[in-house]
Amino acid sequence: MKKTYFIILMLLAKNIFSQDIHLTQYFIAPQTINPSAFGVINSFEAGLQYKSQWNAFTKGFTTYSAFINKQITSNRKENKGFFSAGLNFGYDKSGDGKLTTISGGLPINYSLKLNNSQFLTSGVSVGFAQKSLTGLNQTWGSQFDGFNFNSSLPNENKNQQSIVALDVGAGIALINKKNGKKFAVNSEPSNTLGFSVAHINKPKYSFSRNSNERLFMRFNLYESFNYCFNGSPYSISPSLMVQYQGRASEVILGTMFLYQSGSNSYITGINQSKTFGFGAYYRFKDAFALNAFVEVKKIIFGASYDLNTSTLQKTSKSRGGLEIFIKIKNASHLYKGFGKW
């Protein structure tokens, strides 16, 4: 019965987001969904994310995502703008057929300084995506003999086992580093409103040699900010992401609550602040996620867990997926001796 539900799920997912790698903690690497949403708040970032989900359905999904980005021209008061560049990598394997997706992208953007606190950024991303399918565990309708599955019967597989496609995306973002509010002291002031379009070139994305099926463009609207309560060590970071792809949509809304303990002293190295965060995100009609992280000297460790709330809840028993990450931002103390960044 679980396998039956999983097959139905995979068929439905084709019209949802089967072509794209998705992570619950999308706010860890917003540049993976908008090539313009980096380079202003943090001049340097790098991170790794891992997710395992839907293992209640026999073989689930295993996803890895890595990224690095940095300002590549100087951000000084006399400069009107600067460039930033990055590199994104994704790996996903799912199902008994071991459907594997490998993707990579090179985002680059330009940030125009509107005033001392506001930046208008625009960016593009050029990358690739490769999908492959292992034939050992594939089954076909022609191998059903009327009563049972019979692997000795011929199958109708006339598909190619691997495809590679060029993928192009673009985006814009308005980033405010002050916004006239008292922001959290534990993180860089930020208020980001961004819009992006992925798969602009609508790459051909089908295993069938006779198909002209193409990947739908994905439209994304993203908003996030940090706000501190009257200069206290407590702060709040709400965010919202809305995506449309074809006839499908995805809406994620949530908030992180943060607390900073201690203060930094990078000169002596004696005092080191720590930031603790916890919160929840809701992916409409799909899952409720609990999130937590700790930050020490610009190194962040975090985890989340999805609780399934969709119509598959009875079969999944509410079990969604575990996701963990590590992220480094502006941590100059980690690369001293390697030259000036």
Q: What is the pTM of this model?
A: 0.78
Give residues with Cβ within 8 angstroms of 252, minimum separation 6: 24, 26, 240, 241, 242, 281, 282, 283, 284
Domain ranges (residues) in the chain: 2-136+154-334
pLDDT along the chain (341 residues), means of 10: 41 42 83 90 92 70 92 78 94 79 94 90 94 66 65 58 88 80 48 93 78 87 83 86 90 92 54 84 90 92 89 67 92 47 34
Give the pLDDT score at 340. Answer: 39
Helix or strand (DSSP H, E) at 302: strand 299-308
Residue 268 forms beta bridges with which residues? none
Q: Is the dihedral angle over the CA atoms 37, 39, 40, 44 positive or is it negative?
A: positive
Hey, CA dihedral for 312, 316, 321, 322, is it positive or negative? positive
pLDDT at 183: 40
CB distance 202 to 216 below 8 Å = yes
- Distance from C-alpha of 196 to C-alpha of 24, rounded to nearest angstrom: 18
Correct CATH for 2-136+154-334 of 2.40.160.40, 3.30.950.10, 3.40.1350.10, 2.20.28.120: 2.40.160.40
List of residues 6+ apart from 48 with CB closer than 8 A? 64, 65, 66, 325, 326, 327
pLDDT score at 244:
92
Name the DSSP class of 216.
P
